Structure 1
Amino acid sequence: MTSALPRPILIAGPTASGKSALALRMAEALNGIIVNTDALQVYDCWQVLTARPPAEDLARAPHRLYGHVGYAQPYSVGNWLREVERLLASDRPLIFVGGTGLYFQALTQGLAEIPATPAPVRAEGDALLAAEGLDVFRHYLAQHDPDLFARMDTQNPARLQRAWEVHRATGRALSAWQAETGPPLVAEDAALTLSLVSDPDWLGQRIDRRLGMMLEEGALEECRAILPRWQPSLPASRALGAAEFTAALRGELTLDDALARARTATRQYAKRQRTWFRSKMRSWHQVESESLTRKGRIEDIISMA
């Protein structure tokens, strides 16, 4: 009789909250495998800009689904779930870590099988966004998918355009597709779920420091390498700081202005992450990020696994 597989560990938290360091310590202690649960760390062009685990971390524990997707390569949460499914038979604990709430939601609640968006519809959406901004999608969804519109983040361009594309391409509301969602790959009650909670001021200071360090470590050079192929509408181009540093390379902003804008944009993104986690992960174990530096705290968390 074979023993049961170890239960997965899920670590969600806003950017710069210390979740990757916690995952690494847990992976070392439990002989686990770290699985990327961040929509931007999948891209091979952004090592520094997305704070992908460095070589020394990769040497300490196995990491999966990091940096394996090309800049212009189509990739979605559905692609990610299919890759995750192949990892679930491991006899080692899988430690999912990241800040993309949609990935965690799809992992623990399932994902509807929605047809891919045709290229002409995607191009039409890109053109509408450039010409009219987010309001064109808001008005459309308020009329054609009011259930989804009432509960979605209406400040998120990617989510708004995606919902518009689904209805435009299929004639059905995204909420209708979601109602047909299949079973999840990982049930929340079968996993150890950890949500990192961070004081906004503490987190903001860490964000500011980290962006400055990213410039010192080569973030601008990563943007320079992408500059000839830069397409702002691509999902990979949503990496925090990419638009601002690219603008600096084009001479549209000074580097100081670009850094200041990147810091503001990253703080705003972290705020949206915190709002998502508070709303969607109320039943998860809440872990204060600041407490992770306290002696014995990480050991206490590891003992919960």
Structure 2
Amino acid sequence: MSQKPAQHNKRDAMDSHAAIAAARGTAHILVAGPTASGKSALALAIARAHGGTIVNADALQVYRGWPILTAQPNAADRAAAPHALYGHVPDDAPYSVGLWLAEVAALAATGARLIVTGGTGLYFRALTEGLAPVPPVPPQTRAEADAHLADGGIGALLADLDPATAARIDTRNPARVQRAWEVLRATGRGLADWQDATPPPLMPLDTVLPLRLDMAPDRLNPRIARRFDAMLAQGALDEARARLPRWTPRAPSSQAIGAAQLVAHLRGEMSLGDARDLSIVATRQFAKRQRTWFRARMRNWQAVAPDMAR
């Protein structure tokens, strides 16, 4: 298998068929994009055309309990091509970008062509830029951070951060701020310092075909609504019902968009119609953040205007 990435013009968007053609002969392909933009359809088309294992790069699709609500590949898709790292983590188990990267490295070591697809930008950044060797944060530090956040809000955590880290992270994202606070508290070194010691990446950008799907909101938003309705028809509410006896809002798997709303409906706190509408709005907001992040951080990726999204 050739290790030289296909030549492509990053300045102009290509359609899905051109993207499939460009994937011919490349060692690995990365397919990123906002939720509901057609990433899975394109990855599957590439696998059918050229072979390869489709690898999940979505932080919520790794969890076992929400296959429908997180839009994991269905049985037909899995029969059409090999898939990896979907639904393999128990809902209450800790998981991290470091664990994900190690699992991708093990898959790459087999010599298989990987088609890495998903919407978690941090995963792609670690894959193509490297991951800082930050030690695990002790549970007591995390508990301390939780208490600090509850008492003083995100501002209390920000006030304790070193200037270099505060200038580098998304200070509006509580999870990112808390992570930085925990690292500083546990190690005595700021997250920026750890990041500056990052080792070489597993898949440098110039050795792969990096595809970035984009879809205008006027096309994407109706697709988001249709997909959520399809999820309900396929049994997303049953997934929430199964989780209800052991529902924990702060569990990583509970962050699946729509999970909290469906649980609230099952508890009698809102109608199913309201749960649906709120979930769709939350998904649209998430997609907007993804599009902004991808455009800012993935300028050197080949833009794809999806015309085969489903």
TM-score with structure 2 setting the length? 0.88
CA shift at 1:121, angstroms?
1.6
> Deviation at 1:4?
5.0
Gaps (5+ residues) in structure 1?
A: 294-305
C-alpha separation between the residues in 2 aligned to 1:27 and 1:216?
28
Q: State how far apart, in whole Å, the 1-side matches of 2:233 and 2:153 are.
A: 34
Q: 1:246 Cα shift?
A: 1.4
Match of 2:61, SS state, is coil
Matches of residues 216-231 of structure 1 in structure 2 within 5 Å?
216-231=233-248
Pick closer, same or farther for the CA change 1:264–1:135 going to 2, 3 Å: farther
Cα distance between partner residues in 2 of 1:272 and 1:230: 27
Alpha-carbon contact 1:138-1:154 (below 8 Å) kept: yes
- Pairwise CA distance, 1:113: 1.3
CA distance in structure 2 between the aligned counterparts of 1:138 and 1:259, rounded to whole angstroms: 34
Match of 1:215 in 2: 232
Contact in 1 for aligned 2:41/2:308 (Cα 8 Å)? no
Partner of 1:268: 285
**Corresponding residue number in structure 1 for 2:249:** 232
Does the 8 Å contact 1:19/1:196 carry over to 2?
yes
Distance 2:44 2:183 in 1: 37
Distance in 1 between the 2:152 and 2:221 partners?
31
Please say if 1:154 is aligned against 2:171. yes
Counterpart contact for 1:211–1:259, Cα < 8 Å: yes
Match 1:182 to one of 193, 199, 206: 199
CA offset digits 1:227-267 (Å, max 9, x no partner): 22222222111111111111212222222222111111111
CA contact (8 A) 1:113 1:177 kept: yes
Aligned to 1:124: 144
Identity %: 56
CA–CA distance in structure 2, aligned partners of residues 57 and 244 of structure 1: 28
Please tell me whether residue 92 in structure 1 is matched to residue 109 in structure 2. no
Q: CA deviation at 1:131?
A: 4.4
Cα–Cα, structure 1 residues 248 and 134, in superposed 2: closer, same or farther, change >3 Å? farther
1:45-86 per-position Cα deviation (integer Å, ceiling 9, x unaligned) = 110010000000000000011100001101100000111111
Question: Does residue 282 of the first structure (1) align with residue 299 of the second (2)?
Answer: yes
In the alignment, the residues of structure 1 paired with residue 113 and residue 128 of structure 2 have an alpha-carbon distance, to the nearest angstrom, of 16
CA RMSD of aligned residues (A): 1.6
Aligned residues: 287
Show the counterpart of 1:249: 266
Can you list the C-alpha shifts for 1:119-164, whole angstroms capped at 9, x where unaligned? 1121222333444443333333xxx233333343333232222112
Structure-2 change in CA distance of 1:217 and 1:134 (3 Å):
farther
Q: What is the aligned partner in structure 2 of residue 20 from structure 1? A: 40
Deviation at residue 214 of structure 1 after TM alignment: 1.0
Q: Does 1:68 align with 2:88?
A: yes
Q: Which residue of 1 aligns with 2:12?
A: none
Q: CA deviation at 1:179?
A: 0.7
1:30 partnered with 2:30? no
Q: Which has the higher contact order (CA 8 A, sep 6+)?
A: 2
For the 8 Å contact 1:35–1:64, the answer to whether it is kept is: yes
The corresponding residue for 1:297 is none
CA separation of 1:251/1:133 partners in 2, compared to 1, >3 Å: closer, same or farther? farther
Instruction: Pick closer, same or farther for the CA change 1:135–1:205 going to 2, 3 Å.
Output: farther
SS of the equivalent of 1:287 reads: strand
Matches of 1:127 and 1:187, distance apart in 2: 39
Letter paired with 1:227: L
Q: 1:128 to 1:262 in 2, by over 3 A?
A: farther
Contact 1:99–1:273 under 8 Å retained in 2? yes
Secondary structure in 2 aligned to 1:282?
Answer: coil
Distance 1:125 1:259, change over 3 A: farther
Could you say what secondary structure the match of 1:193 adopts?
strand
2:142/2:182 contact within 8 Å kept: yes
Q: Which moved more, 1:154-163 or 1:69-78?
A: 154-163
- Going from structure 1 to structure 2, the CA distance change for 1:256 and 1:128 (only over 3 Å counts) comes to farther
| TM-score in terms of structure 1 length | 0.89
Asked whether 1:206 is paired with 2:211, we answer no
3-state SS of paired residue (1:134): helix
* Alignment partners' CA distance in 2, 1:247 and 1:127: 25
> Partner of 1:298 in structure 2?
none
